[in-house]
Structure 1
Amino acid sequence: MVRHRAAARLIHGLAAAPLLPAGARSSLARRLRAGMVRAGWPAAESRAALAAVAAGVGPAARADLLAQEAADEIAEGRTPAHLTAAVEADLAEADRAYARGDGEAAARRLHRVLHTQFHRVIHFDQLGSPLVDDPAAFLAPLHGSAVGRALLTPRGRRQPAAPPPTDRPQRVLLLLNGSAHFVQAIRERYAAHPGVELRYVRLDDDPVAGPLIRASRRMTAEALLRDTEYGRQVEAWLRPHLDWADTVFVDWAVATAVMVGLVDPGDTRVVVRLHSYEAFGRWPNLIDFSRVDDVVFVSEHLRDFTLRVAPGLTGAHAPRTHVLCNAMDLAPFARPKDSAARFTLGLVGTSAVAKDPRWAVEVLRLLRATDERYRLLLVGGGIDTGLSRAARDYAAELEAELAELAPSGAVTRLGHTDDVPGVLTGVGVVLSSSVRESFHCAVVEGAASGAVPVVRDWPFFAGGEHGARTVFPADWVVGTPAEAAARVRAVTADEQVWRAAGEAAAKHAAATWDWSVNAQCFDSLLGIDGV
């Protein structure tokens, strides 16, 4: 362990020594940084030592060294300070391999770049994202590289999608890999529709597609190189489905959408729905949107953002884009609400750092400073601490804050429940404390129950043309915990005011977002006659 500055300088000098083999210098450089971190030296000092050593080795060894150090910093729950340098170095080596015809090496390095640059620690398990701060600058190395340009080159399709049939029911293939929560109402509608023959396939449950969907390295290689064995296996599995279907609807713009884009769909129409988190990952750079006819977003601000980060969504080969809200049956939430609910703030869904429940705790503190009747109900599982060190660090800070409030009974944690409508009968104010949301169904459900919404102006999108203030009525949205506390006090000033505000919110929710209102929008998108 490096404990003294003199020892750090000694190892630094040895690691940079030109007579040492490159591999030995790289190994010593890693030991140097690890020791300095354990000894408590400033991160800038250890990074400076690493940079000096990296400059003294060959480009391939330098790329490997920077990539490994980036991985180490990510494992420690931080966005690597030299992330751009690591990405650029790996991409330069990928370009060299691609130029000399070593596709396997190029694909391997490209996959590592995508894994590093779009790691969840950088974009999901902290309260900010460099992709949001400056999308063009963050993506410039990838989109400017030879392998990046090859990856994003449209393959196109041999023929356009055919119009819906008029002499038989339309055959709709619903493909899913992940949560089925948002397709349930859609699936039920078209399974019972006389003008639709529905086929529903979960790829993660399929014995052939399941392994293919999880083979991310091979998927990246096919997207870059084309005509690999992986691509032929995807073609063999997907082609019979494409030949049967008139329309393919892919929910979640993740690996399933990538797989569909690897195969020429013939005259089958392809529709992909993007929810939110996909836009912050590697997927928009892997999906061949020239083989997609329509992309559905659940909000305008998600469309705005995704068009900035996904080159395939603009230009001559781009698909049509639409904004359709989630399919939500809000009728079960219209239940009587007890008067005691007026002072209960509800936060439904707390399993992700992006939900930022600490913001809700701060709102509660401000309220209880003058009125201890206010309490906070947290519904859902806690932060998944197994995801990353960054998630664990946030969870630890949250737990410390909740522990301070526990003796007073100010916070109740319910955990997972299958009866959200029932829980909401005891909630008077529903919060959205998130740093980013595409739509936030929990707020809509809370509003439908008669709880008064208080929505944070989601920082990832605040200041843009669209955001929380264009999804919801402007008076629901606040900028700071102090503004949130002021709105809560105003709408809970007395029971009559609170009930009137809740009834207005419920009426707006039902008229704007209920499935009975929006189902026809999906019919129109798919070219299906209404029922």
Structure 2
Amino acid sequence: MGNRLVDGALRRVTAPRVVRHRAAARLIRGLASAPLLPTRARGALARRLRTGMRRAGWPVAESRAALVAVAGAVEPAARADLLIQEATDELAEGRTPAHLMEAVEAELAAADEAYARGDGKTAARRLHRALRTQSHRVLHFDQLTSPLVDDPAGYLGALRRSAVGRALLTPRGRAVPAAPPPTDRPLRLLVLVNGSAHFLREIRERYARHPGVELRYLHLADDPVAAQLVRQNARIVTEALIGGTDYGAQVERWLRPHLDWADTVFVDWAVGTAAMVTLVDPGDTRVVIRLHSYEAFGQWPHVIDFSRVDDVVFVSTHLRDFAATVALGLTGPNAPRSHVLTNALHLQPFRQPKDATARFTLGLVGTSAVAKDPRWAVEVLRRLRAEDERYRLFLVGKGIDTGLSRAARRYAEALEADLAELEPAGAVRRIGHTDDVPKVLTEIGVILSSSVRESFHCAVVEGAASGAVPVVRDWPFFAGREHGARTVFPADWVVATPAEAAARIRATTADEEVWRTTGAAASDHALATWDWSVNAPDFDAMLGVEPA
């Protein structure tokens, strides 16, 4: 019976458009409620029906409606499977699923049902799938908007209302508070990272030679045990939700000797490493986590147990504000202390002479992510060249990684079309990756930030230190809030539109003396505000060590 219904459905959905529209509504309603069709068969029907409709060229909205209609007639777990798979398929196509929230809510409801009957592992598996879907990169990184930014409470409401979400977010605390820094010996500092260690170089150098610090540095990829443990995201979520798992015991065995040695553990990036560390009661060892930016859009701020963290370091005030709206553990009586400490940058090497020809050269350093929105910089260039063809744009760094998602690929294709118009005339030059950014900056007279979001934007600070005129887009993710680009940088550096950017560039480059004076003032401000020599004592104070 089930197979005949499926085959009949497929014949109709692949029929000519006139025929299929007359039959579609009756067909879907009938199959969704067919009393003789078992739940499992309905699920199979929904998947085959969706595939057939897509291959037949049905509009996305119509084929999705068919699946949702059938999904509504199956039991909650099967419904969650159907909807979350549909969402996954849509994300794989680089699209934001129209029924994303419905899918996440269905998955969390199925997780709650499993949790209520004592099936913690199934509940954790479904919770992890909901978190992973809701934090997918297409939603937040490979497009120029993010639903989380628009309405954090609404976007995360289903998670916070669910039983599994409430259990995950319940503080477990620690048996004893962290001990104060020692006074009779150097502070034992353990630095942990997994992934990019780019922002740790100056910190490591300082504390490796600091007489008041005994430093140990561990990149988890270099540790054969930790490298395996940190890659098991689903098991991290399971232990965080239900506890008492074999995985939790393995983390305890690996981490405990490090905790016993260290006075302070500094974890860079609030990702899986930080979540794994907080699976373990740290005893009297102090735990510090640094949250940069992109982590706030992922799953880990909901998994990290901030009641076991003593301090969280942010690189800007607007990032701290936003993270507090996302991660409930960052507020309330169990919340850690928060610090705003900018990235560690040695800026003096960037202060090199510029040739007069750099005056009309715009620079965008770092173009590998859609969030950098280099097309905004291209629009600024077009406006400038409409009046003066001496202006050109340098794109420094590797291009957008088109393998990340179809959404990223579509953006990259649009950018390539833009550049194809401009490169033949010499208006754009792609430099690619370089290990000598200070040298490249000697050829750049205006440094741009075209991003939709940034936590700090080191490239602009380095460009300003070089004497380039800074032109910073009022990052849309944070524009209009209490803190944002206008509170990170001087107000006259920040613009709202490409037209305003072009106007600032014309005003500051029309005359060479004005350009050099403006650039020199930017350089002075950058070195006086963000050089590591200025900010290192603040980092010392946060860690509890005397300045070297």
The TM-score, its normalising length taken from structure 1, stands at 0.98
Secondary structure in structure 2 of the residue aligned to 1:136? helix
CA contact (8 A) 1:12 1:32 kept: no
CA distance in 2, matches of 1:343, 1:4: 58
Q: Which residue of 1 aligns with 2:3?
A: none
Secondary structure in structure 2 of the residue aligned to 1:453? strand
Secondary structure in structure 2 of the residue aligned to 1:208? helix
Quick check: 1:318 aligned with 2:335?
yes
Quote how far apart the aligned CAs of 1:56 are. 1.5
1:73-112 superposed matches below 5 A: 73-112=90-129
Quote how far apart the aligned CAs of 1:452 are. 0.4
Range that drifts further, 244-253 or 2-11: 2-11
CA distance in 2, matches of 1:138, 1:439: 25
Quote how far apart the aligned CAs of 1:21 are. 2.6
Quote how far apart the aligned CAs of 1:13 are. 5.7
Q: Which residue of 1 aligns with 2:28?
A: 12
When the two chains are superposed, the root-mean-square deviation of aligned CA atoms in Å is 1.2
Query: Which residue identity is paired with 1:215?
Result: Q
Describe the shift of the 1:345–1:39 C-alpha distance in structure 2 as closer, same or farther (beyond 3 A). Answer: farther
CA distance in 1, matches of 2:502, 2:16: 50
Quote how far apart the aligned CAs of 1:7 are. 3.8
Q: Which residue of 2 aligns with 1:523?
A: 540
CA contact (8 A) 1:172 1:247 kept: yes
Secondary structure in structure 2 of the residue aligned to 1:214? coil
Quote how far apart the aligned CAs of 1:313 are. 0.6
Query: Which residue identity is paired with 1:528?
Result: V
CA distance in 2, matches of 1:369, 1:67: 48
Quick check: 1:191 aligned with 2:208?
yes
1:128-527 superposed matches below 5 A: 128-527=145-544
CA distance in 2, matches of 1:138, 1:253: 20
Secondary structure in structure 1 of the residue aligned to 2:288? strand
Count of residues paired in the alignment: 531
CA contact (8 A) 2:398 2:432 kept: yes
CA distance in 1, matches of 2:140, 2:226: 28
Secondary structure in structure 2 of the residue aligned to 1:34? helix
CA distance in 1, matches of 2:127, 2:71: 20
Quote how far apart the aligned CAs of 1:218 are. 0.6
CA distance in 2, matches of 1:486, 1:41: 47
CA distance in 2, matches of 1:396, 1:130: 24
CA contact (8 A) 2:29 2:69 kept: no
CA distance in 2, matches of 1:513, 1:192: 22
Q: Which residue of 1 aligns with 2:8?
A: none
Query: Which residue identity is paired with 2:362?
Result: L
Q: Which residue of 2 aligns with 1:2?
A: 14
CA distance in 2, matches of 1:29, 1:12: 9
CA distance in 2, matches of 1:444, 1:339: 21
CA contact (8 A) 2:189 2:265 kept: yes
Query: How big is each residue's C-alpha offset from its partner over 1:204-249, in whole Å with a ceiling of 9 and x where there is no partner?
Result: 2210000100001111100101111111000000000000000111
Secondary structure in structure 1 of the residue aligned to 2:253? helix
Query: Which residue identity is paired with 2:253?
Result: A
CA contact (8 A) 1:15 1:29 kept: no
Query: How big is each residue's C-alpha offset from its partner over 1:374-421, in whole Å with a ceiling of 9 and x where there is no partner?
Result: 111000111101111111111111111111112211111111110100
CA contact (8 A) 1:170 1:246 kept: yes
CA contact (8 A) 1:12 1:29 kept: no
Quote how far apart the aligned CAs of 1:36 are. 3.2
Quote how far apart the aligned CAs of 1:25 are. 2.4
CA contact (8 A) 1:2 1:32 kept: no
Gaps of 5+ in 1: none
Gaps of 5+ in 2: 1-12
CA contact (8 A) 1:17 1:25 kept: no
Equivalent of 2:53 in 26, 31, 36:
36
CA distance in 2, matches of 1:528, 1:117: 40
CA distance in 1, matches of 2:168, 2:545: 35
Q: Percent identity?
A: 75
Describe the shift of the 1:39–1:406 C-alpha distance in structure 2 as closer, same or farther (beyond 3 A). Answer: farther
Query: How big is each residue's C-alpha offset from its partner over 1:158-186, in whole Å with a ceiling of 9 and x where there is no partner?
Result: 11111110111110000111111101000
Query: Which residue identity is paired with 1:387?
Result: L
